[in-house]
Structure 1
């Protein structure tokens, strides 16, 4: 080999070795990058969908299981994670504190939403959880849009997503009820929309979010979608197959105005005018269908889940609550409502599959509270239950107040199972506030149907760890709650003798579903107890974002991959 050929050969070999070295480095770098992606301590779905079903008991999953299709509740459970022993860990169990606790990861003791309405100790008036006269309605000339989340003291998981993404991740909240949209949306939502019925039938919002409706919302309102549900409500399936509920006509169900009995079908067109027109839709499963229609329109109108930055769609199904209150948890109306909701969920999931992509979104489903069976029905089945008239309690208490303090004005308000005292009068009478609280609590304990009482001082001074006092303490906000807390006996309610209600610390009001599904979620189930405030930190851990500011819950580690 000549000297020139030898030099050329060595140069060629060096180039080849250099190329191999560079190639090896690139492969090593690529593997390192792939490993970094694979081991990232978070998951980035394109969209998180939070679903709250108003007044859904856990046993609705099991009672109606054989009637459900494969694409709704069954899909969420079979391909997702089922927390079977999930409870609210506070009382009172109402819609507003329920939605707020789901999204803040804490309880009313911290977030301050202690009811749907409550007595405001500063103004001396009752306030509504989301009412705010500093803002105006958008989409209606009524006052139905004068709302904001300002009474919530802490951030939500939706707020934290907005902050984490430098406000690039969108948050849209949708519900028939204003509080079911405003509170999940948090303080920084792009929009919250709710349905204003009456003679309008429009989705509306507040100037807190915007000054005019987006074109897609205006187009939806201008369409015939809402009015298309002005049709008779008959059962989805043959009513003879509805064996997981009571008889169609009974004494435990309420009636729409103009009905002679509660039997199917319910003729909505004939009942329309007497039942506030579009408001009638809310009290039927068609309200849930309308909510899905609008939620799907929001997916398209807002391009949710269209890029790599996580968006959030909060959807609350309110009609289940209206139907439960009207007809009760053992009615054929409830059974039909959940079979139709199952179909609506399937429609929503199928749309997400197409619009966002299978495996590209994450869903959780829970409830804002559950509900008691109709006490008049329970009584007929020889189960201890009944009704309490707080007006009679107030009359009896007034006798006690006059005798002991010379005035009934020492009590300013009785609401949400709490008694609010006038602290100025107590001070002027030169008596100790703690003594007054104790005396009134002991007096109330002697009344029929009151199971137990607690004072504000007990809530402040003790640290309960279990049982009903623990549940009450989590619902007790020092600045907003009352002086004496009342717990009725199990299955005793202050309500009409037809239909169901909620609010107590008992398991029939606290045990609700909690399902996780989709990207980053394990398949499985657990019987260990979880609580509502665990939801937000679980989603935060999934996304790798900061917890809401008041979080007291813990991530459910079994849920996450």
Structure 2
């Protein structure tokens, strides 16, 4: 009897302990959410066109404390950020940053692409239904985001704020302004080289605001032309660069660069000087002031792309004094810009991120000078030789229409109706092209999963393939080979020198630090979405970078 009583007593205690545990579990304090969702007053996205990741540190000792160093020291640097597709070009990079997606989904597969149906080239932002605003009629203004198939993080901010949050894009390049600003932007402004005006299109408005009109009247490019382009510091101190005069840098590669002859004549020349970045960031400051960006509790977004780094990089290469001087000057421009944000919006009230649309290869002449492998190929040469081979082998005349973006386009009217199957033509073309100097491999894009390739190359080709817009074959070049000329350099390939980009966040909601964990360009937009507590863009394939936040 005592044993039964003890057992019942023990069971009752066990039941009480379970009940208490359940009570504690259900009554545990729940994390309290603030009365309002906290967001920064302004988000500033900065894309430095053609910036290699290593530029953060290559010139670090020469930077001041308020520009790149401030970003690195006060912000969070995602040190191993990679582009997850190929080819790596300007329009594609800007689109991917702001959509969190890849060309297979967002549709922007290059700056241009070949439309096999119309047999015409398509420019990424061309739109024949709109016209120039802010200057005389010109094809430079017939632009819009209509070719982009998905939303952007800027579109999602507009949706999340019921279109009360302002979004403005600014860049010398139309594609660097239009694609980041998205479909629902209040405005996108880009530079018209023929007039020196900042323009837009009727997609956004019927006339530019007065602050743009007044700014255009000043023709500030002339002010910079009058100064010429001297090195910021004594030229002997540019020890991170090659000698000033190199044949592989192209024409006019010697300091000082005389610009005065361009006054009132060649407004486009400003692009290939560091002053183009200064103009861009000055306009960005004016936009903040004139449009009251970041002046209330509804988050605004300013998308800025600094394009002169790309023009200078193409012309002179990563190891030129011109490139080093451009970054030292950009560092000072950033210091002025961040100080302006501190003063106008308030330090701690804005979030800024800096990244790049792509990086760049070393100039082949520089590589060969230092006993390193490199070379160039020619699209025209590829088409000519491949057509000659196929004509001789199969008696098909000019079946190859285009070589572009590392892709071969065939005339499907001929391949679909000819006596030789398209599969046979493609297989023969692949084997022929593999014998070209500089070619590492060639694959049938629609069957890339079956190709014998490293997984990273398969993934990047697949992510860059859009069934409606891409070609039939994709060729992979040897490292530091590219499609171009013997002077200057370019980008576009899968290799780390083209695909490893900087990514630094700073300001509201960001803790200082760094990570060497691999992240991707596609992670930027979902990270911003998580930070702002808004929906990510509708084609997003990336993931939030959780290391950067304080939460």
Question: What is the distance in 2 between the residues matched to 1:240 and 1:208?
Answer: 49
Matched-pair contact (CA < 8 Å) for 2:47–2:305: yes
Matched-pair contact (CA < 8 Å) for 2:394–2:420: no
Question: What is the distance in 2 between the residues matched to 1:43 and 1:366?
Answer: 24
1:224 Cα deviation after fit:
4.9
1:227 Cα deviation after fit:
2.4
- 539, 542, 545: which one pairs with 2:528? 539
Which secondary structure does the structure 2 equivalent of 1:299 belong to?
Answer: helix
Deviations 1:263-282 (A, max 9, x none): 21111003558xx6111111
- 23, 33, 45: which one pairs with 1:36? 33
2:382 counterpart of 1:385: no
Question: What is the distance in 1 between the residues matched to 2:451 and 2:509?
Answer: 40
Matched-pair contact (CA < 8 Å) for 1:245–1:332: yes
Which secondary structure does the structure 1 equivalent of 2:431 belong to?
Answer: helix
Match of 2:548 in 1: 559
2:204 counterpart of 1:213: no
Question: What is the distance in 1 between the residues matched to 2:380 and 2:197?
Answer: 38
Structure 2: runs of 5+ lacking an equivalent = 1-28
1:464 Cα deviation after fit:
8.8
2:81 counterpart of 1:86: yes
Q: Structure 1 residues 380, 133: closer, same or farther in 2, change over 3 A?
A: same
Matched-pair contact (CA < 8 Å) for 1:460–1:478: no
2:494 counterpart of 1:505: yes
1:462 Cα deviation after fit:
8.0
Question: What is the distance in 2 between the residues matched to 1:492 and 1:43?
Answer: 48
Question: What is the distance in 2 between the residues matched to 1:470 and 1:225?
Answer: 45
Which secondary structure does the structure 1 equivalent of 2:517 belong to?
Answer: coil
Which secondary structure does the structure 1 equivalent of 2:501 belong to?
Answer: coil
Which secondary structure does the structure 1 equivalent of 2:383 belong to?
Answer: helix
Which secondary structure does the structure 2 equivalent of 1:174 belong to?
Answer: strand
1:516 Cα deviation after fit:
0.4
Match of 2:123 in 1: 128
Q: Structure 1 residues 400, 164: closer, same or farther in 2, change over 3 A?
A: same
Match of 1:336 in 2: 325
2:163 counterpart of 1:172: no
Deviates more, 1:158-167 or 1:468-477: 468-477
5 Å-filtered alignment, 1:112-511, equals 112-141=107-136, 142-198=138-194, 200-230=195-225, 231-255=227-251, 259=252, 262-270=253-261, 277-459=266-448, 466-511=455-500
1:463 Cα deviation after fit:
12
Q: Structure 1 residues 194, 434: closer, same or farther in 2, change over 3 A?
A: same
Question: What is the distance in 1 between the residues matched to 2:461 and 2:83?
Answer: 11
Which secondary structure does the structure 2 equivalent of 1:126 belong to?
Answer: strand
Would you say how many aligned residue pairs link Structure 1 and Structure 2? 520
Matched-pair contact (CA < 8 Å) for 1:47–1:313: yes
Question: What is the distance in 1 between the residues matched to 2:49 and 2:89?
Answer: 9
Deviates more, 1:491-500 or 1:43-52: 491-500
Deviates more, 1:234-243 or 1:335-344: 234-243
- 78, 93, 96: which one pairs with 1:98? 93
Matched-pair contact (CA < 8 Å) for 2:383–2:400: no
1:325 Cα deviation after fit:
0.7
- 72, 80, 91: which one pairs with 1:77? 72
1:291 Cα deviation after fit:
0.4
Deviates more, 1:520-529 or 1:457-466: 457-466
Deviations 1:477-532 (A, max 9, x none): 11110100011111112222221210011111001100000001121000111110
Deviations 1:342-369 (A, max 9, x none): 0111111101101111100001100000
Matched-pair contact (CA < 8 Å) for 1:43–1:520: no
Matched-pair contact (CA < 8 Å) for 1:414–1:420: yes
Structure 1: runs of 5+ lacking an equivalent = 1-31
Let me know the Cα RMSD of the aligned residues. 1.9
1:431 Cα deviation after fit:
3.8
Match of 1:10 in 2: none
Q: Structure 1 residues 134, 520: closer, same or farther in 2, change over 3 A?
A: same
Deviations 1:80-129 (A, max 9, x none): 10011111111111100010000000111111101111101221100100
Q: Structure 1 residues 379, 35: closer, same or farther in 2, change over 3 A?
A: same
Question: What is the distance in 2 between the residues matched to 1:463 and 1:181?
Answer: 39
1:229 Cα deviation after fit:
1.4
Deviates more, 1:332-341 or 1:383-392: 383-392
1:43 Cα deviation after fit:
4.1
1:396 Cα deviation after fit:
2.4
Deviates more, 1:128-137 or 1:495-504: 495-504
Question: What is the distance in 1 between the residues matched to 2:139 and 2:510?
Answer: 42
Which secondary structure does the structure 2 equivalent of 1:555 belong to?
Answer: coil
Output the TM-score relative to the length of structure 1. Answer: 0.90
Output the TM-score relative to the length of structure 2. Answer: 0.91
Question: What is the distance in 2 between the residues matched to 1:552 and 1:386?
Answer: 34
Q: Structure 1 residues 526, 33: closer, same or farther in 2, change over 3 A?
A: closer
1:206 Cα deviation after fit:
0.3
